[in-house]
Each structure stands twice: as structure tokens, then as C-alpha cells.
Structure 1
Amino acid sequence: MTVRVMLVSPARNAALREVRFDDEGPLDEAGARRAGEAAGALPGADRYLSAPAVRCRQTATALGLPAAPEPALSGWDLGHWRGRTLQELSEEEPEAVAAWLSDPLAAPHGGESLDGLRERIGGWLEGLEAAGGRLLVVADPAVVRIAVVHALALGTEAFWRLDVAPLTLTELSGRAGRWNLRCGRPLET
């Protein structure tokens, strides 16, 4: 049975503007306004989900989506690095950052490794095939990136080569373990 998973990245918040690892903060005023302006620009779906992060839930609400929170879609757990910038961490923990950027099994921050994120999101994605239909999801950029990596059977290191802009739509359609990708469509009304 074919399933279409439409992944929407959330609007901007302070962490994204300041290039910090997300700290579960809310949308800023500009992000909320942009999401509201994009309401109505999304295709319809049979089901709507949101990652539990405040930024994702607020984006879903601003887009007018009746999205239920889905714990499996939680963002990448970066442990004690949450709320910090990569620049700060590179100065304070250069070896840890180097390991994190080069080894998908590394989790020097005490959170989830990149391989762990891939296993979690890949398992969720594969579990959707049985239900089929159209699913629209608001999820953090890291979740969208790793879903693409998993769906296309790319090496995990490809994660670092993908960018997901705020308020863009990435579509995966799959059947029998094969996925196709349509990526990065901006939400415009």
C-alpha cells in the first residue's frame, strides 16, 4: 500500500536565528506570522501529526492543522548541548565536536547519536507503510533530514550535506520498502 509522508519544517524561532541547538523554545513573532501567512498552502492529508516540540506544535497551529503530537517525532536529543551554539562548543569541547561530526555512533553530549536518530525515525517511517494514505507532519529539520537519508538508503554521513529551510515541504512516497522524494517546496500562498 502506498503512503505519502509530507514533512513540513517549522517556522523560525530564536534558536534558529541565533544558530543554537534547539532549546525547545517557542516561535518568535516573525516565525508565527510567516506560518500564519502560509496557512492554506498545504496539500490535504488523511492524518496530521506534529513533533512534540513547542516550535512544531505552534507551527502546526498557525498553519491551521489539526495535528496530534507524536512522541516518535521528537527532535534530535543533543543532551547537555541543548541551547548552546556550535561555535561555543567547538571552542570548549573541540574533540567532542569533531567526534560528533565524524562518527554517527558518537554522542558526546550525552543524548542520542546520529545513528540512534536514524534508527528511531527510520523505524517510524517504515511503520507507516502498512496504513497507507496521506500523512502531513510538522517536524524539526533534523528529523526531516534523517527521514530523507533513511528513505533513500543513503549513508548516514549524507545527513550533514542536507539543508532544510523553515516552512518548506518535503514529500516522501513509499511502497514495498521503496521511497521517492520531492524536496524543499516552500509554503507560499
Structure 2
Amino acid sequence: MLIISMIGLDKREFHSHAHKMLRECLRNKGIEYSEATPVTRGRLGKPSLTEHPDVHYNISHADGIAACMVSELECGIDCENVRDFHPSVMKRAFSAKEREMVEKAPESERNLLFFRLWTLKEAYVKALGTGISYPLADAEFIFDGDNIETDIDNCYFRQYILKNGRYVVSICEIKRKFPR
């Protein structure tokens, strides 16, 4: 299940809003979620429901957007509002092919392209439970029209571009389970 919300909240309120979305997603699976719900943390801090180890979730929020997903598979979600990016981030986190793709794109498309790639990388490492300690440049993505191409095995990737390119939401689900 996936919920995406774009509302005019204060930045501080988006974290709380994302957790409300998570409660709604889990309620649809018959799971009551609150601050008292037992949560287990993985080796690098990824949370999971102690009493429901086969239910996986992830949340994300950025200025103007919040997103939540619940799945039977390990999952990660990332959302971003498209804005000017910092080239130094691209140098650290993108492969040579990805940097070339962004640099060769028309200037009017570069910010969106950067955040399409960034959110895919973030969703992937969140699904893995490693966060940005993972070497992000190793997770390479190329676009063929609307298709996302990658050599990452055992993962499903989806991406949503919302509000005429103002927001990007990317999702990763891992086809097999990894030890926590």
C-alpha cells in the first residue's frame, strides 16, 4: 500500500503527518500502530514491527510532500521536492554515466533528472536498511523513456513524478529477504 500526501504543513509537521499515514496503512492490514507499538531496529537502525516481522514499511517526507508504503517485501520510499541541486552531491553519489546523463540534459530538465536519480538511490538504500552509508555511486540507474534501467538484481523500482515535475517519489521493494 502506498500513500502520498501533498499538503501545506510546516516542515516540523511532516514527520508527524507521515506517521499518521503509516498508522492508516497498517490499520488496513489489521495492525494498530502507536507510539507504544514495539519496534525493532536493524543493525543500522531500520525500524520494523516486532510483532509483525513479515510486514515492512518506510516513510519519507520533504518540503510539501510526505509518502508512506507498507509491503510484504523489504521496502524503501523517498520523496523530494524538485529544486536546485548541489553539483558536489552529484559528484559523490552518482556514477560517471549518471553524471553525464544529468550534464547532457537540457538545463531546464537537470534538477528533475537529478532528483529522479537521487530518490531511486535513497529508496534503494532505505530498503536495504543501510542508509547513505552505502556507496551510492554503485547503485546506477538509467532512464529509457519511462523505464528505469539498473543492474541491481532482486529489486522492483517504481517512480512517480507529481505536480508537473515539482515532486518525485521513488519506491524500491526487495524481492528476497536480507538478514537484519
TM score, norm. by length of structure 2: 0.28
Q: Considering fraction of residues, name the structure with more strand.
A: 2
- The higher-RCO structure (CA 8 Å, 6+ apart) is 1
TM score, norm. by length of structure 1: 0.27
